[in-house]
Structure formats: C-alpha cells, structure tokens
Structure 1
Amino acid sequence: MKNKKKIIGNGIFLFLVLGLTLYGVFHGEDLGLIWENLKKADIRYLFPAVICVVFFIWGESIIIHYLLYTLQIRLKKWKCFLISSVGFFFSCITPSASGGQPMQMVYLKKEKIPISISSVVLMIVTITYKLVLVLLGLFVLFFQPRIKDTYMQDVMPVMWLGLWLNVFCVAFMLLLTFHPQLMRQILVKGHELLVKMHILKKKTSRLEKLENAMDEYQKTAEYLKNHPGVVGIVFLITCLQRVALFFVTYFVYRSFGLHQYSMYDIVVLQGMISVAVDMLPLPGGMGISEKLFSMLFTGIFGQVKVLAGLILSRGLSYYTELLISAVMTVAAQLFLGNEKEHREKISEKLKTIQEKGKGYERKRGNS
C-alpha cells in the first residue's frame, strides 16, 4: 500500500512538473511556426539520434552484464537490458533519479542475485556515471574558457551549482566506499544528534540499516581495490554511453540543415546541461533542462528554430528514453524471475494438447 501511494505521488508530481514545463515553454509562442519548423526537419538525421538513445540504455546493460560476469554470475544480456531499462524508467519519473537503482535491485533479486552483489554492481555504475559528469564539468569550466565565455555567461550560477552538487555526491560515495569506518561514525553521530533534536524517533532498526549499508560500501571498496582494470573499462563504456546521448542534440541540429557550429561545441553544451540538472530534485531535470536549452542554443539554432530544436532534442533524449524504458519495464515485469513458471506453463499446455490428441485418436479408432 505504501509503495502504491509513493508511485501515485510520483506520478502526480511528474505530470504537474510536465504541465508547468509545457506552459513555460509554449506560453505566448507561435505554435503554427513551431510546427512548420518541425516539418522541415530531415528525418534521416533523427534515426541516428534514436539509435543514440537506445545505445545509452544498452550501454548500462553491457556494464551490468560485464560486472556480474567478473563476479562469476551469468545473466543473459537481454535480461541486463531489461534491468537497465527499469533503472532509467524509474530514474526518469522520480526526483533526482532516486528511484532507479532501488527498483533495479528488486528486479535483480527476482533473478536470484543477492542484494549484497547487486548493491556493489550498481554502486560502481553510479560512481562512474556521476564521475563522467564531474570530469566534463571541471574540464569545461576550468579549461575551456572559449565555450564558457561564448555560450554560458548567463547560466554560470546554475552550472557551478550542478557541478559542485555532483562533486559532493561523488566525493560522498567514494568516502563511503573507501572509508566506511569513518562514515559509520559520522552517520551514527548524525543519527544520534537528529534523535536528540527530536527530528527522528529512536529506532534500532534504522541503525541496523545504516550498519548494513556500511557493510555493502565496504564490499564495494574491496571490489574497486581488487579490480582496477575492470573499473577502468566500466568508466570508458560509461563515457561512450554518456556522449552518445549528448549527440542527440547534434543530430537534431543537422536535421534542420544547419552546419555553422561545430559538433564539439554542441555536444559539450548538451553535456553541460546534464551537469547542471543531474542532481536537481526534478524528474529528468524537467523544466530547468528546457530553460537551459533555450538559453544555450538560441544562438546556435536561431531564434526561429530553437523551440523546434528543443522539442526534438528533449523529445528524443528524454521522452523517447522514457517511452522505451517504460515498455521494457513492462517486459521486465512479465519475464524476469518467471522463466521457471513460464516453462512449467508451456509444459502443462503441451501435455494438455497431447492428451487431447490421444483422446481424439482413441475416438477415431473406436469409430
């Protein structure tokens, strides 16, 4: 019941933010002109954009499959793709993408993979996923003054906020991972302080959960220390995965017959939008992503085509991802953890068909 209420609450929040986003983007705009510009987009450039979205989801599934393989666990690639899709679907509809990994653990458990293992795998996925954004943000803001001064002057506060939130998140996870004893002391003392301030009620079960969490982080630390080469490969795949999604905007740009601005500038700017919005408490960065896109890309797409570019870029990179991952999540619900039951049902149906066939033959023989 509690989970159902949470899902309903997230759904209401999602549609509320979506409604406000649509109103903010299109209020007072010439919808007819936007539609005319959309019709001019060359669909040949939109196909590779869709492939980039699929590659983005598939990339994480390859990482999950690879990490499980190094832990001597064989999980079929198509199942890993479903697990990856579950993560992206719930990340898309929950604030700060907080619902993705807990749901992935649920579906991995359906495949008889213990939480002690899935937590290590997904923690590595999260650390590398965030680390790519941190390195991109640091590289652009400190070593790319041309891009920063040319395109980003009006949005620098948001960019710095997003960068430091990601830096804090990665640093916190690494501290949890490599200094679990220190973090255990910090969390226990913090818990005691919140109890004394009557912000939290005293619960032994909460402390036990904290202790269990620390144990999982310690296992992650041991894995990272013992498998640096594996983590390096995961990082490289994550880089490709992230950049593939940023390329969607470049293909949309080219679909309008535009070619004045370089691929590098467009991909990097789209990446910086992800840096800015990734940690904000909005599902899929909805609202702020659209605002930043219009501010950063108006000069690139032009005043007339920027909203059409926004619709296609966001539509492909977020809403297409949401749609694909939603369909795959339904498939995950149907197929993951149910193979044995499925085989038993098929076997029962075959026996029924065979018995009916034998009965029919007996009738024919008697006649």
Structure 2
Amino acid sequence: MNQNEDKKKSRFSRFWKKYSNVIILLLIVGVTVAIILTQVDPIEFRNTLDQARGEFLLLGIGCIIVYWLLEAYMLLKLLRRENPKEKFSFAFTLMMVGQYYNLLDPSSSGGQPIQLYAMSKKKYGLGTGTAVLVQKYALYQITITCLAITSIIFCVTELNQSLDAAKWLIVIGLALNIAAVVLIIILVFNPNAAKGILSGCVKILFRLHLLKKPEKYHKKVDHFVGEYKLAVDGLKSQKKQTVYLFLISIVQMVAFYSVNHFVYLSLGLSSINAITLISLQAILYVAVAFIPTPGAAGGAEAGFLLIFGPIYGAAYAPVAMILWRMITFYFILVFGGIYLSIHSIKMGKEKVAAIEEELSEEVDYLIEEKK
C-alpha cells in the first residue's frame, strides 16, 4: 500500500514539475476572466468587441513582429562578435526560444538555459553564450527603465487620474527596475562594490529569517557578479556598437508599447494621442515586471485596468485589456509554441538543470582566468 502511495506521489511530483507553470497560468487566466465577466454586461461587452476594427488589430500584431525582428537583429549583432558568419535565421530562433519560455516562467528567465543549449549546438561556448544573453538583458533593463522614467515625467497629469489606485504598483515596479539599473552601473565601474551590496542584502534577509543557508546565496551572488562582469567587459570593449544597440532597443520597446495605441484606435477612440498611450504603457510594463507569475498574468490585467481604465472608460476598458493581452501575450505563446514545435527545440527540466550546473562551472573558470 505504501509503495503504491509512493508511486502516486512520485508520478504527481513529476507531473507538477513538468506542468506547474502551465497549470498556474491557466488558473490565473481563468480567475481573471471570471472576475471581468462579473463586472461587465455580457451583451454590451460582446457588442463592443464586435465593433473593433480588424485592420488596427493587425497593425498591433505588426508591432509584435517588428519587436521580434529587432530583438533577433540585436542578438545577431552580439553573436557576430564571436562568429561573423552567423545567420539571421538562427538569431530569430534564439529570440523565439527566449520569448516563449520566458513567458511561461514566473521569473521570466526560463528561456536562458534553452537558449544556451541551442547556442551550444552551434558550437558557442557557455561563457560566450552567457555573455551574449547578459549583454542583451542589460541593454533591455536600462532601456525599459529610462523609458519609464521619461514617461512618468511626461504623463504626470494622466497618472494623477489613476494614481490612488495604481501608485504602489508603479512605485514598487519602478523602484525595482531603477535598482537593477543602478546595480548594472556599479558593476560597470566597481564589480567588487556590487558584490558587497548584494552580499549585504543576503545577510539582511538571513537575519530577518527570510532566507536559509546564506552560503548558497553568497555563491549565487558570486556567479551573478561574475557573469555580469564578463558581459559588461564585452559591452565596454565596443562602445559604439553598444550605443547603437541601445538606440535599437529603444525603438524595439516603443514598437511593443505601441500595441495599446492600435487597440485604442480599433475601438474607434481618438481623443488621447499616441505618445501618451505609449508612455503609459511603458509605465505599466515596469510596474508589473516584478509580479512572479508567468507573463505577469493577473497583475498585467489588473494594472491595465487601473492605469487605462480612466482613459478607455468603463465600457471599453475590459475589451481593450483583452485585445491588448491577446496580442502581447497569447499571440506570442501560440506563435512561439508552433514555431518551436516545428524546430523541435525543447528540453526537460533535468537537462536545463544540467546546463545551469555546467554554466556555473564555466563562469567560475572564466572568472579565474580573468584574474
């Protein structure tokens, strides 16, 4: 009897490890839809949805495609530092791996091990692969934070309309992103200081009994600082290209934020200009980035209704939120799933863990070599 129970528990454990992210995502989506349907008139909702103009929604999808192409282009430029003959098709596949698996992972980092695996099959070393991904992430983090700060300055009046409801979401999200950028800047000029700050945070969390086994987290700090130091050295060595990629990154994120503008136009609305909508979307993006659910599910929808509710109005806001989410989240998941199925790029969690372990050893070696 005990053996049967152990087998059932073991099967359940394997099933949960494999599908937990998908199950959590479906639950959050189901609860969100249920809440929305209880707050709106179904007939009015359907009528508003039917009135949406398809050509503007297609332009919104076009923004996602531009976003993808620019992401792949930036990865290609970084990959060609190691292999000048690398093809755009591989960079696009690498991009899609990151987009798809990051949306499924609560920490938005599930794609990195699989991207490293794909690069290893193309004879890229793990150190090189890590440098490429961390360099791209550093550019992304600086870009979204700079755009958010600029947007807050530009949209003070509009934010005052929803500030009471959304202020803490905005403050926490922006604070975390600014902290990440400050840390990156410190890493550029003084890696040891950055290591000291992170180690200090680990000690504080341990004393507050929020962490156990601090030595484990101190080791993670060493790896984090080591990875970023290697990546930052690469960015500093080619300053002109780094500035160029930063500008491309700005265009890329503006394209992504523009989806909401085309959703707004699709509903026949026109009183708010594109710059304001894009700016508010930049603020929403950083506000929900810290939410630990796949694709920030739940938080993204709630944040949208809080920030854009006064702009769309009670009748249009739920429809706008669903259309926006369909394009910026579900379309990416569906397209990414089909694309990666065709290219057969998938791994179990055991393989991911093995790559992460191998990566840690490679980073240790490269750090020691640099000393």
How would you bin the TM-score normalised by the shorter chain?
A: 0.7 to 0.9
Task: Give the direction of change, closer, same or farther, for the CA distance of 1:38–1:228 in structure 2 (3 Å limit).
Answer: same
Alignment of 1:101-140 (within 5 A): 101-140=112-151
Task: Answer whether contact 2:134 2:227 (CA < 8 A) is retained.
Answer: no
Cα distance change of structure 1 residues 211 and 81 upon mapping to structure 2, 3 Å threshold: same
Name the structure 1 match of 2:339.
Answer: 328
CA-to-aligned-CA distance 1:156-184 (integer Å, 9 cap, x gap)? 12111110011122223443454333445
Aligned pairs for 1:17-36 within 5 A: 17-36=28-47
C-alpha displacement of 1:111: 1.8
CA–CA distance in structure 1, aligned partners of residues 258 and 38 of structure 2: 28
Q: Distance in 1 between matches of 2:321 and 2:214?
A: 47
Task: Give the 3 Å change call, closer, same or farther, for CA 241–270 of structure 1 in structure 2.
Answer: same
Q: Which has the larger radius of gyration?
A: 1
Give the match for residue 99 of structure 1. 110
Please say if residues 159 and 307 of structure 2, whose CA atoms lie closer than 8 Å, have aligned partners that are also in contact. no
Q: Residue 165 and residue 7 in structure 1: after superposition, are their counterparts in 2 closer, same or farther (change >3 A)?
A: farther
RMSD of aligned Cα (Å): 3.0
Asked if the contact 2:203–2:214 (Cα under 8 Å) also holds between the matched residues in 1, the reply is no
SS in structure 2 at match of 1:127: helix
Instruction: Work out the CA distance in 2 between the residues paired with 1:69 and 1:94.
Output: 28
CA distance in 2, matches of 1:139, 1:208: 36
SS at match of 1:96: coil
| Structure 2 CA distance for partners of 1:10 and 1:193, relative to 1, 3 Å | same
Q: Note closer, same or farther for the CA distance 1:175–1:100 as it changes in structure 2 (3 Å cut).
A: farther
Q: What amino acid sits opposite 2:58 in the alignment?
A: F
CA distance in 1 between partners of 2:200 and 2:268 (Å): 59
Aligned partner of 1:251 in structure 2 is 262
1:288 and 2:299 matched: yes
Q: CA deviation at 1:220?
A: 1.5
Identity over aligned pairs, percent: 25
Structure 2: give runs of 5+ residues left out of the alignment: 1-9, 348-371
Matched ranges for 1:68-87 at <5 A: 68-87=79-98
Query: 2:53 matched to 1:8?
Result: no
CA distance in 1: counterparts of 2:339 and 2:230, whole angstroms: 30
Label 1:177 to 1:21 Cα distance change in 2 as closer, same or farther (>3 A). Answer: farther
Provide the rounded CA distance (Å) in 1 between the counterparts of 2:218 and 2:14. 22
Deviation at 1:25, TM superposition (A): 2.1
Give the distance between the partners of 1:151 and 1:187, measured in 2 at CA: 34
Once the two structures are superposed, the pairs formed by residues 223-238 of structure 1 within 5 Å of their partners are 223-238=234-249
The CA deviation at 1:273 is 0.9
Aligned residues: 334
How far apart are the structure 1 equivalents of 2:312 and 2:221? Answer: 49
After superposition, the C-alpha distances for 1:207-226 in whole angstroms (9 at most, x for unaligned) are 77765554432222221221
The letter for the 1-side match of 2:63 is: C
Higher mean C-alpha displacement, 172-181 vs 96-105: 172-181
Q: Secondary structure at the match of 2:80?
A: helix
Aligned match of 2:62: 51
Structure 1 pair 41–149 and aligned structure 2 pair: CA distance change class (3 A): same
Q: Does 1:60 align with 2:82?
A: no
Aligned to 1:344: none
Is contact 1:194-1:200 (8 Å) kept?
no
TM-score between both structures, scaled by the size of structure 1: 0.81
Evaluate the alpha carbon distance shift between residue 43 and residue 91 of structure 1 in structure 2; reply closer, same or farther with a 3 A threshold: same
Does residue 200 of structure 1 match 2:207?
no
Q: Does 1:163 align with 2:183?
A: no
Shift in Å, 1:253: 1.1
Alpha-carbon distance change, 26 to 214 in structure 1, aligned in 2, over 3 angstroms: same
How far, CA to CA, are the matches of 1:41 and 1:201 in structure 2?
Answer: 53
